[in-house]
């Protein structure tokens, strides 16, 4: 599932290339046909991202909400878009730009009240300028679930996925299984800063690169050369700090990667994030 950095990057692309254009909208798949008719002929006014959610506002107060989920993807075309795939849920077309959306978890038109209700359920997004670290700290500390579990709860902090969770906890030197309710303010501040910087860099560059992470093994099929991780998907490989083999365990059905030595306590020195 795309993490918050990908959704914010998509929003930036859409603001640059799609805002201000009038679109013809249809649903080649057929599951969004009636809603597409409400979009067709309208200009896109603004695009916004909150965590893993994407919001498009069209003239006339029409609001489109997209959540890609595990299988959704968006393709963009400057001109000469190819025919849409049979699974294309929504196509927005104009003479100079087009968008094809397929497989989303959510693709719906929302009233202003429904959008406000949805946004109110979402946690603080480190990439949003109005994000409150104080509220995020309070939300993370609710209950005694493991900190690694709390970080994936989108109602606590929005936009964090499995990769960012592992890398930020490593940068902040925090044990992933510590009870979230025991998180101290100084430790949270390191964690929040790590999340913010990782998300900012990834939203700008289109890839996640953890500071001081080892080079990726280019010869492994399926590995992206651009991504560089310190612990994520590196089970058994040496920690870039201390050479302890990286550990992996299953937590709530997701793989959790961490260094048992560097992340043994929450009292480490402030990490070098740049």
254 is catalytic: yes
Q: Which is the catalytic residue, given 21, 119, 196, 254?
A: 254
| Judgement on whether residues 141 and 217 belong to the same structural domain of the protein | yes
Domain presence at residue 128 = no
Q: Which is the catalytic residue, given 3, 35, 124, 193?
A: 3
Mean pLDDT for the stretch of residues 118-144: 97
Pick the closest to residue 110 from 155, 48, 163, 26 (CA basis): 48
| Judgement on whether residues 49 and 160 belong to the same structural domain of the protein | no
The CATH number that applies at residue 33 is: 3.20.190.10
Q: Which is the catalytic residue, given 2, 126, 175, 271?
A: 2
Distance CA 138, CA 212 (A): 30
| Judgement on whether residues 89 and 188 belong to the same structural domain of the protein | no
Mean pLDDT for the stretch of residues 74-79: 90
52 is catalytic: yes
Q: What is the 3-state secondary structure (H, E, C) of 35-84?
A: HHHHHCCCEEEEEEEECCEEEEEECCCEEEEEECCCCCEEEEECCCCCCC
Percent of the chain at pLDDT exceeding 90:
84
Contacts of residue 248, Cβ cutoff 8 Å, sequence gap at least 6: 235, 255, 256, 257
| Judgement on whether residues 170 and 71 belong to the same structural domain of the protein | no
| Judgement on whether residues 155 and 207 belong to the same structural domain of the protein | yes
| Judgement on whether residues 97 and 191 belong to the same structural domain of the protein | no
Pick the closest to residue 240 from 220, 222, 218, 257 (CA basis): 257
237 is catalytic: no
| pLDDT for the residue 218 | 53
| Judgement on whether residues 250 and 150 belong to the same structural domain of the protein | yes
Q: Which of 125-129, 196-200, 214-218 has the lowest mean pLDDT?
A: 214-218
Q: Which of 63, 95, 121 is the last residue of a domain?
A: 121
Mean pLDDT for the stretch of residues 166-178: 97
Domain presence at residue 159 = yes
| Judgement on whether residues 208 and 106 belong to the same structural domain of the protein | no
Domain presence at residue 126 = no
| Judgement on whether residues 60 and 81 belong to the same structural domain of the protein | yes
| pLDDT for the residue 268 | 41
Distance CA 154, CA 274 (A): 26
| pLDDT for the residue 203 | 93
Identify which has the larger pLDDT, 123 or 226: 123
pLDDT at 273 over 50: no
| pLDDT for the residue 270 | 39
Range of the structural domain that residue 108 is part of = 4-121
Reported confidence tier of residue 212, pLDDT bands at 50, 70, 90: confident
| pLDDT for the residue 71 | 94
Reported confidence tier of residue 272, pLDDT bands at 50, 70, 90: very low
Identify which has the larger pLDDT, 193 or 218: 193
If one counts the domains in the chain, the total is 2
| pLDDT for the residue 208 | 85
| pLDDT for the residue 44 | 97
pLDDT at 265 over 70: no
| Judgement on whether residues 52 and 114 belong to the same structural domain of the protein | yes
Distance CA 140, CA 158 (A): 11
The CATH number that applies at residue 212 is: 1.10.8.50
Q: Which of 74, 94, 121 is the last residue of a domain?
A: 121
| pLDDT for the residue 221 | 57
| Judgement on whether residues 250 and 142 belong to the same structural domain of the protein | yes
Contact 101, 88 (CB under 8 A): yes
Domain presence at residue 170 = yes
Domain presence at residue 272 = no
Domain presence at residue 110 = yes
200 is catalytic: no
Reported confidence tier of residue 217, pLDDT bands at 50, 70, 90: low
Q: Which is the catalytic residue, given 9, 42, 52, 156?
A: 52
Q: Which of 28-42, 90-104, 107-121, 199-213 has the lowest mean pLDDT?
A: 199-213
Phi-psi category of residue 228: left, alpha or beta, with phi > 0 → left and psi -120 to 50 → alpha: beta
With H, G, I as helix, E, B as strand and everything else as coil, classify residue 192. Answer: helix
Identify which has the larger pLDDT, 100 or 224: 100
Q: Which of 121, 151, 179 is the last residue of a domain?
A: 121
| Judgement on whether residues 146 and 253 belong to the same structural domain of the protein | yes
Reported confidence tier of residue 274, pLDDT bands at 50, 70, 90: very low
Distance CA 164, CA 161 (A): 6
Mean pLDDT for the stretch of residues 230-236: 95
Domain presence at residue 56 = yes
pTM across the whole model: 0.89
Domain presence at residue 172 = yes
If you write DSSP's letter for every residue of 202-231 in order, what string do you get? Answer: HHHHSS-B-TTPPPP-TTSTT--SS-B-SS
């Amino acid at each position: 599932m795309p993490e918050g950095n990908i959704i914010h990057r998509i929003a930036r692309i859409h603001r640059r290339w799609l805002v201000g254009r009038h679109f013809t909208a249809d649903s080649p798949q057929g599951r969004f046909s009636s809603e597409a008719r409400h979009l067709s002929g309208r200009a896109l006014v603004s695009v916004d991202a909150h965590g893993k959610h994407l919001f498009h506002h069209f003239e006339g107060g029409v609001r489109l909400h997209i959540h890609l989920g595990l299988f959704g993807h968006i393709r963009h075309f400057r001109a000469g878009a190819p025919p849409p795939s049979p699974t294309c849920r929504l196509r927005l077309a104009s003479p100079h730009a087009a968008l094809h959306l397929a497989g989303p978890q959510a693709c719906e038109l929302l009233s202003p009240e429904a959008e406000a209700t949805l946004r109110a359920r979402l946690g603080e997004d480190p990439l949003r300028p109005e994000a409150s670290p104080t509220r995020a700290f309070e939300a993370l500390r609710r209950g005694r679930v493991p900190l690694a579990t709390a970080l994936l709860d989108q109602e606590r902090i929005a936009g964090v996925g499995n990769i960012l969770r592992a890398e930020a906890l490593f940068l902040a030197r925090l044990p992933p299984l510590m009870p979230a309710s025991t998180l101290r303010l100084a430790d949270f501040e390191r964690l929040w800063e790590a999340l913010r910087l990782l998300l900012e860099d990834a939203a700008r560059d289109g890839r996640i690169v953890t500071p001081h992470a080892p080079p990726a093994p280019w010869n492994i099929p399926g590995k992206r050369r651009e991504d560089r991780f310190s612990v994520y998907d590196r089970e058994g490989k040496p920690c870039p700090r201390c050479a302890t083999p990286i550990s992996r365990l299953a937590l709530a059905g997701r793989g959790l990667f961490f260094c048992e030595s560097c992340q043994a306590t929450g009292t480490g020195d402030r990490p070098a994030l740049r």
